[in-house]
Structure 1
């Protein structure tokens, strides 16, 4: 009887060890994909700030990976660009060398999207074939693959909005494209963090803090969407003072458009004002979250992500202010956009600390 029990325990221990090994491999693969998404967010910001996003006027998911290889092909690409309003109204007379500069940014952005797709799909297939994926994990990863394909389609939908009547892309579509990128990151990072073994939260911690954590995450996503509107309207290049805006705490011309609600999406002043106000709200919210976490828990596994989140919010506010008052220099603007991913990651990590690891049985 003892021998049988020992054998059963040994088998169970071996299975648990194999499970944790597989989870570790999958977790680090997802971390790598998340890191690529971070790079993609930064490259996307650079593509936007260098006004490069409309330089490639066709959607060729496969063939488009090959850039122009001859002078004739470069001239052909430039001629296609000459047909759109951005060239005709803003960049008329652009030289081939100037065109190549914006072309390479957009081409690099699209190529990185393809690289992310491969970096996700190929390991997923390999892990699936090797039996390293738990049954519950497979549909979650397939949904992640779907989100990646959707993001490619949304990206082209965004670009298409600037090829006919506009000289830039729709701020609505840009904000959607950017927010979806952040959602994909959050989705994969959530899975990866829950695959790591961690200390379980108590019932009191879960009951007292989980709702607050989700509300905070909702505020973060709202701010990310508003940041997309700011980028889409180039609102960061206006009202470059802080803490006053147009000489006031609350400017006068926030609701000059009719109907009133359109101001929240199309009035440059209102869009920037909203982004500022939600930043202040996040600072207050993270202070309350830290206070509440200390009161309800105070344990290291909850407080560690809390302090990370508070620190990242503080840094992000500083980066945002510097981006504004320095009139959106490329370097600090990209730091501000990229660091938003760290704020989002910390928000997810806080919730995972309360939710715990995925069950092993």
Structure 2
């Protein structure tokens, strides 16, 4: 995988604050350089409709967003995707498995911001190469037959990937952002809004209500020019529970309370549980416990629980960036290993089949 996209020469130097500006290729230019053919474009449309059908109760399968916390190594990411594609075909009657391809990572202060920002892992921040590599990687995942999901953190980056995605997350730190709500209102795929870092769902409820409406907002067009963007509103949003500072929020009592809150606000009760983050106490090996608890709630009749999210890589745990890194191990949050992930999903498949 070797994208030839590169930044254009330095265009301005602001003497007031010494800020440097490097011009990136436009979203249109990158899409033309790394196009999506008609067959893959149709596949993305089919996958989006499948996710919508699950959200709307027209498809009884469980939606599972699964993959590395973040992608830093295309080779290991594609090996993981190949494993997932094989499993997805085998469990397709009970679950829709979607590849988590996160190339942007929010940072509380500083740190590695993801493949789209720093693909060389060395602080050089070659974003032109990162955008090209990220798009090329997602396109390869589509060729394996997988739906692809990501978190859209920087709205200006969304246009480089939006035609490849079947599901999008808006993270806990950005769900409150008006800019992200406006962006979501114009996306052509389902969007999951995470609850705030405090664990409350009010912010996410406001976000879903906002994203469902049309907006006019400042933005850039596909050629990179400043533009007024007019959005139609996105009816295909849902809540993602990820716990908060006070602890988990996936238990039966929390889910029942949140279900009532959604009903009171006349928001469709569509709930996904992120098995990581505060719901697992940031212990990746506790994710199966969370997953199975939520699965049990669903098997007992709570069909508002439409899906789960798992952070999973080829091997469990995490590691710092450095010169001698282990293959297939996350460099951000700790992940469940592939063997444990496969076992968990196969067991869930069996339980869902037995109830059908």
User: Shorter chain as normaliser: what TM range?
Assistant: under 0.3
Q: RCO (CA 8 Å, sep 6+): is it higher in 1 or 2?
A: 1
Q: Structure 1-normalised TM-score?
A: 0.26
Q: Structure 2-normalised TM-score?
A: 0.26
Name whichever structure is richer in helix by fraction. 1
State which structure, 1 or 2, has the greater radius of gyration over its C-alpha atoms.
1
